[in-house]
Amino acid sequence: MSLWIELFYDLVFVAAILIFSAGVIHVHSSSGATWIVLVFAASWWVWFSTTVCANRFHMTDLVHRLLLLTQMLFVVLIAMEARVSVTGDSTYLVLEYGALLLTIALMYLRAERRGSPGSGYARRLAVVNLAASVCFFVAAVLPEAARLTVASVAVVLLVVPSVMILHRMEDFSTEDERHMVERMGAFTLIVFGESFVEVAVSLSHATISRVDVTALVFEFVLVFALFTSYFEDIPVAGLNQHRFGWWAGSHLVAQICIAGMAISVTKLVDVGSGHQIPHAEILRLTVPLATFYVALAATGWSTRRRPIGPLAVARLSTAGLVVVFGVATWYLSRIHLAEALPIFAAIAVLHAAYALHLRTGTEVVAVPPPPG
């Protein structure tokens, strides 16, 4: 039953990510898009904290499910508020995030009262989330500038101690490690699927042109190539538990980049074949694609695959190649994004094939037995 409630929980984030993506597409300022990305990252932290709690303390009872249901409601509300708050009123957004942190605090408090192994860590995490929740509730009654300042400080006071506490917890059991890797893989799969759905939905409202077809084909090929690069390696490579924070953080960056690439391709829809495509869109695609490979290298470094050097070099070299080609395309006025899209896709496909070859010369190191 825990598997099904987790999948249902993840489905809510599918809806939230679609709302976040639509918000970025319709917000024209860079600051507005950055704000929505930050709100998504904050929502991701809720997913991550909840997943870690369930993974470590095996919470599946009715009360835990009711807390999950409450989270689902507030996650969707936050996604809807993200675009509205760009105009300068984040009151409801701050209140809703405070409520989300309160649910996490209650989860960890219940884990501590059950006397589970690691209950001391659960108590500390409950206190950290409760304190951050109170800060967000206080921030909601302040003027906008002060509200954002207090909320920013609260996020730092939430994330930094939480990462330190999680780092000090006992190592995952073999089963818990497998579950954590599968949960992160499932969420990454959601983002991959959402990126293709985003382009397809945009095309359903447009008059199909050569640019639109190119965008659709490119996004499909690109997503499949990136999907292959990730799922042929990361989920089966285990987790270096001493690098758990890096592993989780690099996943967040990779997931943001996957969504960012879909948003860049979506912006091509409704651009007629006779119109020039803004060169700025080339950079908006180049940056997330290159950053994805950097994040993939960081994720691989945090696994138990050895040796990791050849794969890391291949991923970083691919990121560099994407940057070089993207900048060259930006400067050469005769090359537009419609012509550049297949080349970006070809780079991703070649990397996926080469990485598959490199992985044949590696192995996943077994988890060392506990001392004593």
CB count in 10 Å sphere of residue 175: 10
Residue range 174-364 in CATH 3.10.20: no
Supply the mean pLDDT for the chain: 85
Question: Residue 169 gets which letter from DSSP?
Answer: S
Average pLDDT of the segment spanning 255-284: 69
**C-alpha pair distances (Å), 22 with each of 27, 141, 263, 266:** 9, 29, 8, 10
Whether the predicted pLDDT of 234 surpasses 50:
yes
**C-alpha pair distances (Å), 183 with each of 1, 118, 179:** 15, 21, 6
pTM: 0.89
Asked if residues 221 and 345 have their Cβ atoms less than 8 Å apart, the reply is yes
**Banded pLDDT at 267 (limits 50, 70, 90):** low
Whether a cis peptide bond, with omega within 30° of 0, leads into 307 is yes
Tell me the per-residue pLDDT of 318-343, one tens digit each, with 9 for 90 and over.
999 999 988 887 777 666 656 677 88
The whole-angstrom separation of Cα 38 and Cα 251 is 15
Provide the residue ranges of all domains of the chain, joining segments of one domain with +: 2-168, 174-364
Lowest-pLDDT range of 36-45, 269-278, 318-327, 328-337: 269-278
What kind and span of H or E run contains 286? helix 280-301
pLDDT value at residue 61? 85
**Banded pLDDT at 1 (limits 50, 70, 90):** very low
Beta bridge partner(s), residue 278: none
